């Protein structure tokens, strides 16, 4: 409840705000002294710090909700369908714990290091074999499946949510890598000579070959590299 009173509105004994000129939850101007100067009044009886903390808590929970939503979306059936069902929840937990706020003021060099550091966390949850007990190479696990999942998550949280400001998005989107899968591989092969066709065949060298080629072309076209992922919709 708000109340309005003179600037010297705190009790001298307790230091706490004292309700003044308040009647049935409304400002009661008629009850104020006729010579009172309302231009020198201000809202008091407000726990400003409490309100600020309340909004900080709301903001924190909102950011958490955005992260959880994007983590759920990016591990959809098409992404990890080759693995057992329990893998999905394990990956969601890892993605949710990633410190996304670090991206707000990150350089291109630091993004590269940040990406590989968090990629290590994701790949630990990727099984070495499919649900049909087919073996997956270490390169395919990390630079194929794990990289696709992490890049999908980053794309979603940066471009499809309101986690970052518009100014921050403009900077971060230029750093993002394109999630590589069979559809993107087919689209890329129209422009780049690739010696692989499936996500499980991707290794570190092949991953960065694709990302560097797309990055150079995107720079010349004055567009973020991540936009090439729109080709997935067209395929």
> Which residues are 4's β-sheet partners?
43
CB 168, CB 104: distance < 8 Å: yes
pTM: 0.73
d(CA 68, CA 144) in angstroms, rounded, equals 23
Q: Where are the domains of the chain?
A: 4-46, 61-234
For the chain, 235 residues long, give each residue's pLDDT as a single digit of tens.
Answer: 444 444 334 444 444 444 444 444 444 444 445 555 544 444 456 778 888 888 888 877 888 888 988 888 888 767 777 788 788 889 999 999 999 999 999 999 999 999 999 999 999 998 888 777 788 889 999 999 999 999 999 999 999 988 999 999 999 999 999 999 888 999 998 888 898 999 999 999 999 999 999 999 999 999 999 999 987 766 5
């Amino acid at each position: 409840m708000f109340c309005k009173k003179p600037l010297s509105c705190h009790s001298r004994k307790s230091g706490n705000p004292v309700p003044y000129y308040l009647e049935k939850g409304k400002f009661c101007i008629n009850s104020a002294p006729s010579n009172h100067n309302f231009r020198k009044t201000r809202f008091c009886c407000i726990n400003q710090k409490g309100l600020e903390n309340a909004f900080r808590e709301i903001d924190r929970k909102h950011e958490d909700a955005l992260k959880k939503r994007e983590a759920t979306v990016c591990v959809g059936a098409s992404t990890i369908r080759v693995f057992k069902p329990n893998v999905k929840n394990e990956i969601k937990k890892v993605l949710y714990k990633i410190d996304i706020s670090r991206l707000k003021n990150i350089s291109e060099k630091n993004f590269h290091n940040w990406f590989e550091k968090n990629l290590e966390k994701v790949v630990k949850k990727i099984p070495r074999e499919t649900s049909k007990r087919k073996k997956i190479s270490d390169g395919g696990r990390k630079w194929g499946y794990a990289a696709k999942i992490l890049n999908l998550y980053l794309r979603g949280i940066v471009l499809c949510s309101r986690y970052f400001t518009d100014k921050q998005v403009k900077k971060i989107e230029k750093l993002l890598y394109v999630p590589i899968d069979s559809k993107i591989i087919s689209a890329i092969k129209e422009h780049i000579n690739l010696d692989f066709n499936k996500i499980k065949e991707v290794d570190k060298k092949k991953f960065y070959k694709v990302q560097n080629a797309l990055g150079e072309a995107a720079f010349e076209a004055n567009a973020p590299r991540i936009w090439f992922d729109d080709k997935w919709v067209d395929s």
